[in-house]
């Protein structure tokens, strides 16, 4: 199909200093869990975006010196010759598809603990990040930088920029955002210096200017120099010289970088989940930048709609459409727009599972795109699958996330597929969950797969068909896939942190009961030890229905795991706004006569609160009775010529939607495959050998004698 002419503007080339991006699609720097220890995985991951049509493809954050060590979080390095060769794999791969390669040079300053290098961290005034997130907590505090340290920082940046040029990068960044070292100089909370680098905005911005200048001197006219900067806090602060300190900073640096990459300050706002922020949510903060500079501006906002993208360009908000999460959900987003296939875009749902991957220190995962991170090690391509390995027919029982993904991928391979769903509509858990507060965007998981399945004549969907083991034996399929999901249990929680003690009763409910329309009477206690989104979102849902809600959890925060997906701060604000009482570090131990008894998780101190309905959001178990019923009939299976019966998704092991989709996809990829191809490749650093870390200036990780 031909490209819609109203999207032509998105495919105009953009000059960025000495280089030119072929279009306005810009895959911004973002962590992906694939560092120098996984160079082939990283190169293939970024290459896939270039193949998919992104005009610029950037690295994640890259340390310029061992004094910037983010371990155990997965960060890349550019310290030595081996690192140069490692990054060159990526630039070569990106260049093969006509895209520019960008690198985000980074120093974490007072936001890192240097757990591995054990070099004393440093910040402008010795101030440290006192994080409440356990992944970032530590008891190492930074020292205040002196002029020697500032000269060393400039030297490290210049050396890293030269290495970046040798590695083949086209755009080299100075990173002044997200609480890292150059940003720390910009913000007065971090910077209490009284020398030429502190005090006024003009002084505080000096280090950023100097970093840009040494970067330009290092790369010459070969590479563009980009500034990535967070503006949320600066925008909120008044200035005597401009509408805000953010305006003043941009005015002072307006034409120094070749590119402005603008963002917000903290991960929960910069990468806000769709539950709490719409597409384009950055605009109120960053819209002024384009008015103050002649240089191109790139920004993000979880853009998935080409019309929204065009609007950003035509209204003068951005010159380049930046994306991290949407480029993960669909690396081929630009190409699909270019080919007039907007309906094929696999839209990001804003669940932030990708961000949780970085917090987990593993390669990136995605609910929508199960191939992400598997491009090299499993040879999975997001748009191509191998043809079927046989003429087998496959019955998939259950049309939830796992069953839908499995049927779609099998259908794309060419198998004859029957998808049977017991309910009158497909979607499984998505049918209910997408009606809960803030989760409507998650419906894209269902909508995209439903649309793709409708085009496959070799996939037949039967709704309202609850199959028994006898039914399956009579249908004549070669392979049977059980994707019947899971169920929530009415279990309590012990001091050993495991679910125990089944609690039955007419006023005890689970999320399954709420989904089935159970009649709830208030006051309601939502008891959550699942620790992801379901407990808090059900509390909101029931509060909107007019009930008085108490939220109880043995964890220290509501939806404790959601700190991994950037949702926890917003969840707490949402519960507070809804008037929901919060009881943390508490276990439900009894429920009778209109009240619930709580015990302190660590103290066993008893508390009683009013309760007519108790909703337990805790353990889940597989709905595997159908699989069990078939497994005990091997002779009947053989007589029916059924070669395999396999569980996938929650029917195998309950998890998040991302796990279900991945499970279904993997089964479909591996059916009839050569067993020798099924063990994924293990990546390794390039040429790594024992060596001393480079010392580019006298290091001051302990006090010098003077």
Strand partners, 609: 596
Nearest C-alpha neighbor of 262 from the set 284, 236, 279: 284
Q: What number of other Cβ atoms are within 10 A of residue 23's Cβ? A: 22
For residue 282, the 8-state DSSP code is: T
Is 106:61 a contact under the CB 8 Å cutoff? yes
Q: Could you please report the per-residue DSSP string of 617-661?
A: E--EEE--HHHHHHHT-HHHHHHTT--EEEE-GGGTS---HHHHH
Express each pLDDT in 136-146 by its tens digit: 888 889 999 99
Q: Is the pLDDT of residue 114 over 50?
A: yes
Task: Record the tokens describing residue 431, joined without a space.
Answer: 């049918």
Helix 444-453 and helix 401-413, axial crossing angle in degrees, nearest 10 = 30
Task: Record the tokens describing residue 236, joined without a space.
Answer: 């909120």
CA distance 490 to 621: 11
Report the pLDDT value the prediction gives residue 17, as an integer from 0 to 100: 98
User: Where would I find the H helices in 145-288?
Assistant: 147-167, 181-186, 201-204, 206-219, 232-235, 245-253, 267-270, 283-286
- Topology of domain 489-621 in CATH is FAD/NAD(P)-binding domain (3.50.50)
Is 184:190 a contact under the CB 8 Å cutoff? yes
Question: Cα separations (Å) of 87 from 162, 173, 357?
Answer: 13, 15, 21
Express each pLDDT in 473-485 by its tens digit: 999 999 999 999 9
- Cα Rg, the chain, nearest whole Å: 27
Nearest C-alpha neighbor of 487 from the set 617, 600, 599: 617
For residue 41, the 8-state DSSP code is: H
The position carrying tokens 């969907």 is 461
- Topology of domain 393-485+623-674 in CATH is Rossmann fold (3.40.50)
SS3 label, residue 614: strand
Nearest C-alpha neighbor of 448 from the set 329, 308, 307, 346: 346
SS3 label, residue 270: helix
Q: Is the pLDDT of residue 698 over 50?
A: no
Express each pLDDT in 536-577 by its tens digit: 999 999 999 999 999 999 999 999 999 999 999 999 999 999
| CB-count exposure of residue 144 (10 Å: 0-12, 13-18, 19+) | middle
Report the pLDDT value the prediction gives residue 703, as an integer from 0 to 100: 46
Question: Cα separations (Å) of 603 from 241, 552, 587, 618?
Answer: 55, 16, 11, 21
Q: Is the pLDDT of residue 694 over 70?
A: no
Q: What number of other Cβ atoms are within 10 A of residue 533's Cβ? A: 25
CA distance 375 to 586: 44
Is 113:73 a contact under the CB 8 Å cutoff? no
SS3 label, residue 171: strand
Report the pLDDT value the prediction gives residue 229, as an integer from 0 to 100: 98
Express each pLDDT in 621-654 by its tens digit: 999 999 999 999 999 999 999 999 999 999 999 9
Residue 642 neighbours by CB under 8 Å, 6+ apart: 472, 473, 477, 478, 479, 480
**% of the chain beyond a pLDDT of 90:** 92
Residue 694 neighbours by CB under 8 Å, 6+ apart: 79, 80, 159
Q: Is the pLDDT of residue 701 over 60?
A: no
CA distance 568 to 600: 22
Mean pLDDT calculated for residue range 6-11: 98
Q: How confident is the model at residue 679 (pLDDT cuts 50, 70, 90)?
A: confident
Report the pLDDT value the prediction gives residue 680, as an integer from 0 to 100: 82
Question: What is the rounded (10 degree) CA torsion for 161, 163, 166, 171?
Answer: -30
CA torsion through residues 445, 448, 566, 576, sign: negative
Q: What number of other Cβ atoms are within 10 A of residue 30's Cβ? A: 22
Nearest C-alpha neighbor of 286 from the set 253, 256, 250: 250
Nearest C-alpha neighbor of 580 from the set 548, 553, 544, 533: 548
The position carrying tokens 């895959």 is 27
CA torsion through residues 29, 32, 35, 40, sign: negative
3-state secondary structure 467-484: CCHHHHHHHCCCEEEECC
Strand partners, 549: 524
Express each pLDDT in 404-458 by its tens digit: 999 999 999 999 999 999 999 999 999 999 999 999 999 999 999 999 999 999 9
CA distance 575 to 244: 32
Task: Record the tokens describing residue 498, joined without a space.
Answer: 């495991």
Provide the CB-side half-sphere exposure for 681 (13 A, CA).
15
Q: Is the pLDDT of residue 60 over 70?
A: yes
Q: CA angle 661-666-667, nearest 5°? A: 105
Q: How many residues does the chain have?
A: 706
Mean pLDDT calculated for residue range 384-408: 97
CA distance 226 to 217: 13
Phi and psi at residue 91, in whole multiples of 5°?
Answer: -65, -40
Helix (H) or strand (E) holding 610: strand 606-610
Express each pLDDT in 486-540 by its tens digit: 999 999 999 899 999 899 999 999 999 999 999 999 999 999 999 999 999 999 9
Q: How confident is the model at residue 674 (pLDDT cuts 50, 70, 90)?
A: confident
**Beta-strand relationship, 100-106 and 76-77:** unpaired
Q: Is the pLDDT of residue 75 over 90?
A: yes
Helix 39-51 and helix 81-95, axial crossing angle in degrees, nearest 10 = 20
CA distance 538 to 317: 37
The position carrying tokens 């029957």 is 418
Helix (H) or strand (E) holding 583: strand 581-583
Strand partners, 104: 61, 173
Task: Record the tokens describing residue 345, joined without a space.
Answer: 């875009």
Phi and psi at residue 306, in whole multiples of 5°?
Answer: -60, -30
Q: Is the pLDDT of residue 689 over 70?
A: no
Mean pLDDT calculated for residue range 359-371: 96
Express each pLDDT in 591-613 by its tens digit: 998 999 999 999 989 999 999 99
CA distance 169 to 100: 8
Mean pLDDT calculated for residue range 53-71: 97
Question: Which of the residues are catalytic?
Answer: 180
Nearest C-alpha neighbor of 489 from the set 500, 473, 475: 500
CATH among 1.10.340.30, 3.30.70.890, 3.30.1360.170, 3.20.20.70 for 5-359: 3.20.20.70
More confident residue, 689 or 408: 408
The position carrying tokens 């099998």 is 410
Range name among 112-116, 183-187, 198-202, 483-487 with the lowest pLDDT average? 112-116
Mean pLDDT calculated for residue range 359-377: 96
**Average pLDDT for the chain:** 95
Q: Is the pLDDT of residue 700 over 70?
A: no
Domains of the chain, residue spans = 5-359, 393-485+623-674, 489-621
Express each pLDDT in 270-329 by its tens digit: 999 999 999 999 999 999 999 999 999 999 999 999 999 999 999 999 999 999 999 999
Report the pLDDT value the prediction gives residue 690, as an integer from 0 to 100: 57
Residue 590 neighbours by CB under 8 Å, 6+ apart: 596, 597
């Amino acid at each position: 199909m031909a490209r819609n002419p109203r999207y032509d503007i998105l495919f105009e080339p953009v000059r960025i200093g000495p280089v030119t991006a072929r279009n306005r699609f810009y895959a911004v720097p973002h962590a992906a869990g694939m560092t120098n220890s996984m160079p082939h995985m990283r190169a293939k991951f970024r290459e896939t975006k270039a193949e998919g049509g992104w005009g610029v493809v950037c690295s994640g954050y890259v340390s310029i010196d061992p004094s910037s060590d983010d371990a155990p979080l997965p960060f890349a390095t550019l310290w030595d010759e081996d690192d140069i060769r490692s990054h060159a794999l990526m630039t070569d791969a990106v260049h093969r598809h006509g895209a520019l390669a960008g690198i985000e040079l980074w120093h974490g300053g007072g936001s890192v603990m240097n757990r591995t290098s054990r070099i004393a961290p440093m910040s402008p005034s010795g101030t440290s990040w006192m994080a409440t997130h356990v992944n970032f907590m530590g008891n190492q505090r930074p020292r205040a930088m002196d002029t020697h340290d500032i000269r060393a920082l400039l030297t490290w940046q210049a050396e890293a920029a030269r290495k970046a040029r040798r590695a083949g990068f086209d755009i080299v960044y100075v990173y002044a955002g997200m609480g890292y070292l150059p940003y720390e100089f910009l913000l007065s909370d971090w910077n209490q210096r009284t020398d030429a680098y502190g005090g006024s905005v003009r002084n505080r911005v000096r280090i950023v200017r100097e970093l840009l200048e040494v970067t330009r001197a290092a790369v010459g006219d070969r590479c563009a120099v980009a500034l990535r900067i967070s503006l949320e806090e600066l925008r909120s602060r008044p200035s005597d010289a401009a509408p805000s300190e953010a305006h003043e900073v941009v005015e002072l640096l307006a034409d120094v970088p070749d590119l402005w990459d603008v963002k917000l300050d903290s991960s929960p706002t910069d990468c806000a989940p769709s539950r709490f922020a719409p597409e384009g949510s950055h605009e109120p903060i960053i819209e002024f930048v384009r008015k103050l500079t002649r240089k191109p501006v790139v920004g993000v906002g979880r853009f998935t709609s080409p019309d929204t993208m065009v609007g950003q360009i035509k209204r003068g908000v951005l010159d380049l459409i930046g994306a991290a999460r949407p480029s993960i959900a669909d690396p081929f987003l630009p190409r699909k727009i270019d080919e007039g296939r907007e309906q094929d875009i696999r839209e990001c749902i804003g669940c932030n599972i990708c961000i949780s991957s970085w917090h987990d220190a593993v390669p990136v995962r995605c609910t929508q795109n199960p191939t992400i991170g598997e491009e090299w090690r499993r040879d999975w391509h997001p748009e191509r699958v191998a043809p079927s390995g046989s003429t087998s027919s496959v019955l998939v029982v259950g049309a939830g996330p796992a069953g839908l993904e499995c049927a779609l991928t099998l259908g794309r391979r060419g198998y004859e597929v029957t998808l049977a769903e017991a309910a009158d509509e497909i979607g499984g858990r998505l049918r209910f969950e997408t009606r809960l507060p803030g989760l409507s965007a998650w419906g894209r998981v269902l909508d995209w797969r439903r649309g793709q399945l409708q085009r496959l004549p070799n996939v037949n969907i039967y709704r309202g068909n609850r199959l028994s083991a006898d039914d399956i034996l009579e249908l004549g399929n070669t392979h049977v896939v059980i994707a019947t999901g899971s169920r929530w249990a009415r279990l309590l929680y012990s001091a050993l942190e495991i679910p125990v003690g089944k609690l039955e009763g007419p006023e005890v409910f689970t999320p399954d009961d709420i989904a089935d329309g159970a009649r709830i009477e208030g006051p309601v206690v939502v008891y959550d030890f699942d620790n992801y989104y379901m407990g808090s979102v059900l509390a909101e849902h029931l509060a909107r229905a007019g009930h008085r809600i108490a939220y109880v959890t043995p964890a220290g925060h509501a939806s404790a795991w959601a700190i991994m997906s950037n949702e926890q701060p917003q969840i707490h604000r949402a519960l507070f706004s809804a008037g929901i009482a919060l009881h943390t570090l508490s276990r439900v131990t009894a429920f009778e006569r209109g009240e619930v008894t709580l015990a302190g998780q660590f103290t066993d101190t008893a508390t009683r609160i009013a309760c007519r309905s108790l909703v337990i959001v805790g353990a889940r178990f597989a709905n595997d009775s159908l699989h069990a019923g078939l497994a005990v009939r091997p002779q009947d299976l053989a007589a029916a010529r059924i070669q395999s019966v396999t569980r996938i998704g929650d029917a195998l092991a309950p998890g998040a939607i991302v796990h279900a989709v991945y499970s279904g996809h993997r089964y479909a990829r591996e059916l009839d495959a050569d067993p020798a191809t099924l063990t994924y490749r293990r990546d390794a650093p390039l040429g790594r050998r024992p060596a001393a870390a480079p010392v580019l200036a006298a290091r001051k990780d302990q006090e010098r004698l003077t």
